[in-house]
Amino acid sequence: MTIQVVGIGLDGEAGLGESVRHIVDQATVLVGSDRHLGYFPNHPASRIILRDLTETLVDIQQYLLAFETNKPNVDPAVVVLVSGDPLFFGFGRLLLAKFPPDKLTFHPHVSSIQLAFNRVKVPWQDARIISTHGRSFDQLTQALQQGADKIAILTDTTYHTPNAIACLLSSLDLATAYQFWVCENLGGTDERVQHWSIADVSTQKFAPLNVVILLKESNFSPSLDLSQVPFLGIPDSLFCSFSDRPGLMTKREVRTLVLGELALQPQQIIWDIGAGTGSVSIEIARLFPDSTLYAVEKTAAGTALIEQNRERFQAHNVISIHGEAPAILHHLRSPHRIFIGGSGGNLEEILGLCSLRLISGGVIVLALATLEHLNLAFSWLQERIKVEPTWRYQLLQVQLSRSVPISNLTRFSPLNPVTIITIHHLPNI
């Protein structure tokens, strides 16, 4: 006995090769959805309608037992009809869990993902493929936040529709933009493949059988009307960011906390060490145009982004410094405030130099994402206070989540936890 698992497309029997069509013709039982069985209205075989997958597995087993009892010398010919490739997010996985592999033979059809990428004419060997059919949006949210170049999404007809995906995209405040393709009824006579704007998707109705393709737009910079940009809490999506690491910036919510901890005043000298995209420097520069910001970044890509964002936000009091801390810091004017967002593995050395160069009464703020760096900074503080008791510190643990829509529901998506250390140097009396 061998169970033949046949992939089939929306073109039905006409899309099957001659050998596979012969296998279907010889079936003593056909297993499939109403749609799949409908492609063979005159087939004489018994039928098992595939609705609940677990129940269908039981039905197949019971059929085989009954057949063996009634016709012990005849092998049953079981044919299971499924969409596309049975082993690509398909029923094949469950069949392999229930029956020995040597009792199963697979005859794949072209998958919907393969068809979708060929319709939009984009190579797809490096695509991130995600099924949201009966699953959560967690994998998709992660892929979007990581800035995956190509994402293919298998949707469902309830909570994970193209409309819901567009809503999720809008809510995430991404630093990257995506082309949004909806590929409906692929391989059928009523196939439709269309590119949509995110805003238009929410008002459309789509065929139940669809695949969403998201393609990241390169060199994307959202249009910017500075008169509409808030001075405090600039959305992350407005900054030019790393194309391969779009989430690598101090997030808006953490940024506003950092600015509060810095206790900023007009006409100050401020160091932003490990500035990344320059988001902290840009926000301070707009709040205090008479202050001078040194945005220190060791990577050429980061320095280029800082300069792009400086021009983009017309924050001309930001000075981009390409170099590695602490060595490069010797060349800068002594600061009233210091923010350390990245250390490049030199945290102790950077703290040591900053403590020497900081103007009396100044403030140092660190945003730390790892326990190792937190422990290192805390140990340094303990030793420093023993030598110079005029230092004070406070720790703020930040664990934030943003709401994201899930169809007509809402859930929280967590940001990476951050510990903010605020270090005050008491003024000399």
- Among the listed residues 254, 253, 243, the one whose alpha carbon sits nearest the alpha carbon of residue 305: 243
What integer pLDDT is reported at residue 57 of this predicted model? 93
The pLDDT of residue 286: 96
- The helix/strand/coil state of 319 is strand
Position 267: which residue type? Q
Round to whole Å and give the CA distance between 183 and 419. 44
Three-class DSSP category at 338: strand
- Kind of pairing between the strands at 150-154 and 77-83: unpaired
pLDDT tens across the length of the chain (429 residues): 789 999 999 989 999 999 999 999 999 999 999 999 999 999 999 999 998 889 999 999 998 888 778 777 777 899 999 999 999 988 999 999 999 999 999 999 999 999 999 999 999 999 999 998 878 888 998 899 888 999 999 999 888 999 999 999 988 878 778 999 999 999 989 999 999 999 899 889 999 999 999 999 876 566 788 999 999 999 988 888 876 565 678 889 999 999 999 999 999 999 999 999 999 999 999 999 999 999 999 999 899 999 999 999 999 999 999 999 999 999 999 999 999 998 888 999 999 999 999 999 999 999 999 999 999 999 999 999 998 899 999 999 999 998 887 767 788 888 889 999 999 998 865
Check residue 247 and give its pLDDT: 61
Beta sheet of 29-32, edge-to-edge order: 46-49, 29-32, 77-83, 2-8, 104-107
Q: In 162-299, where does DSSP find H-type helix?
A: 162-171, 198-201, 252-262, 279-287
Region of residue 31 (phi > 0: left; psi between -120 and 50: alpha; otherwise: beta)? beta
Q: Are 183 and 193 in contact (CB under 8 A)?
A: yes
56-63 long-range contacts, CB within 8 A, separation 24+: 56/31, 57/94, 57/95, 57/98, 59/31, 60/3, 60/31, 61/98, 63/29
C-alpha–C-alpha distance, residues 379 and 382, integer Å: 5
Residue 297 to residue 322: CA distance in whole angstroms: 5
Burial tier of 50 (Cβ tally within 10 Å: 0-12, 13-18, 19+) = buried
Cα–Cα distance for residue pair 71/63, rounded to 1 Å: 12
pLDDT reported for residue 404? 82
- Strands annotated E in 159-232: 178-184, 192-196, 210-216
Residue-level pLDDT at 249 = 84
Predicted TM-score of the model (pTM): 0.70
What 3-state class would DSSP assign to 230?
Answer: coil
